[in-house]
Amino acid sequence: MLNRGFTLVEVLITLVVLMFGLLGLAGLMAKGQRASFEAYQRQQALSYATDIAERIRTHQTLAAEYASAAPLAAPVGAGLRFAQIGAGVPNCGNNTCSPAETVAYDIALWDGALSGAGESDMAGAARIGSIVRANGCVAAAGAPIGACPAAPATPAGRFFFGQRYIVSVAWQGRDASAAPVKSACGAGQYGDESLRRVVTLDVMAQVPCP
């Protein structure tokens, strides 16, 4: 009887130790899932920032218009502009558009991507796979590089000057972290700045002299 009781105590101790080990493993798995989710969100945000940055590089003379269409004070990402394609916003995929219409179309597509318009799976009112409460901004950074000579010293369009723009995509993280400082995109929209995440890309636009 004494030996059996001693064996039972050993088994109970082993089970307790195993339980604590499994609890620690479960916590580690939960942290891993959160880190994986954060990495996925950052990857998606970088992809969307790259998309609009390439559009700006393609239409460098319209860079200032892109910044006016998605300023820091009124970021895109709610899907409202995307819903206007074909109505208030011309569909430049099927029609020839003016420069201003091209900017409006590109920003509307970006707005749709940030709002998860391409995602079909839903969880309540939210689209699964989209960035959490995404915001997109384009802003000029610093003074122009170089200057245009006074007319009519040079033929129009012969010389160029540069302007740096910052393309930002912000979203809401799950855990508190250091507040981003490079861009104010989405600032004040997540309750706590430590929850705001931002990826930024620098775009140098070469603008011809008038």
Boundaries of every domain in the chain: 34-208
d(CA 44, CA 130): 8
* Mean pLDDT value of segment 35-57: 91
Among 9-18, 49-58, 86-95, 104-113, whose mean pLDDT is lowest?
9-18
d(CA 40, CA 28): 18
Q: Which of 170, 159, 169 is nearest to 208 (CA)?
A: 159
* Residue 119 CA neighbour count, 13 Å, CB half: 18
* Mean pLDDT value of segment 172-188: 91
Alpha helices (H) along 59-188: 63-69, 99-114
How many helices (H) does the chain have, and how many strands (E)?
A: 3, 5
Residue with tokens 């033929």: 155
User: Where are any strands of DSSP class E within the chain?
Assistant: 122-123, 126-127, 135-145, 160-172, 196-208
Contact 48, 110 (CB under 8 A): yes
Q: What confidence tier does 69 reach under pLDDT thresholds 50, 70, 90?
A: very high
pLDDT for the residue 116: 87
Contact 183, 170 (CB under 8 A): yes
Residues with Cβ within 8 Å of residue 28, at least 6 apart in sequence: none
| 22 against 60, higher pLDDT | 60
Q: What confidence tier does 12 reach under pLDDT thresholds 50, 70, 90?
A: confident
The two three-digit tokens of residue 63, written as one number: 């860079």
d(CA 48, CA 182): 18
Among 2-11, 13-22, 58-67, 93-102, whose mean pLDDT is lowest?
2-11
pTM of the model: 0.78
Residue with tokens 């409006």: 104
Contact 181, 198 (CB under 8 A): no
Q: What confidence tier does 128 reach under pLDDT thresholds 50, 70, 90?
A: low
